[in-house]
Amino acid sequence: MVSKAKFRLKAKDRDSYLELVQLFPLVSIGSDEHLEASSSVVDQLLAKGSLDHGEEMYLDALSDLIGTYEDRHHAIEPGSDADMLRHLLEAKGVTQAEVCLATGLPKSSLSEVLSGKKPFSRQMIRSLADYFQIDTSILTANF
């Protein structure tokens, strides 16, 4: 027996949601071809611009299905500490010397991370997270 959901869509939102489900059902993605078709539907919805609540709910559900499939079949390994540090330097538009001056971290330590000779230390993670104003978990992927 199916129980009633605690939330309900208003008539207009329900109509748009159900119309999308009829056009492209929300089912687990089972192949790369299905992934491609699902991604195409997402692209079409995003290109539409303004979405009603029903369309947003459908888009969220389809995006979750895509994410689940990609995590299982096309997982992306976390970047190296060197890659992460290079990205942060570039994104903020700062030099290694500027980071060292602002954080008090030795330039040699950052150089060793950038060359791949050394991973982030706990102290580096805390200092860099504070400097770049990011959560420490971003820098601990390889820890």
Q: Which token pair is 16?
A: 């748009």
pLDDT, position 9: 73
Q: What average pLDDT does range 59-77 have in this prediction?
A: 93
Distance, CA of 31 to CA of 27 (rounded, Å): 12
Q: What average pLDDT does range 123-132 have in this prediction?
A: 95
pTM of the model: 0.59
Q: Which residues contact 58 (CB under 8 A, 6 or more apart)?
A: 16, 17, 20, 21, 26, 45
Helix ranges (DSSP H) in 74-116: 81-92, 96-103, 107-114
Residues, the chain: 143
Q: Which residues contact 139 (CB under 8 A, 6 or more apart)?
A: 81, 84, 120, 124, 125, 128, 129
Domains in the chain, CATH or no CATH each:
11-73 (no CATH), 81-139 (1.10.260.40)
Coil, helix or strand for 77?
A: coil
Coil, helix or strand for 126?
A: helix
Q: What average pLDDT does range 41-64 have in this prediction?
A: 94
Residue type at 100?
A: C
Q: Which of 11-20, 34-43, 79-88 has the lowest mean pLDDT?
A: 11-20
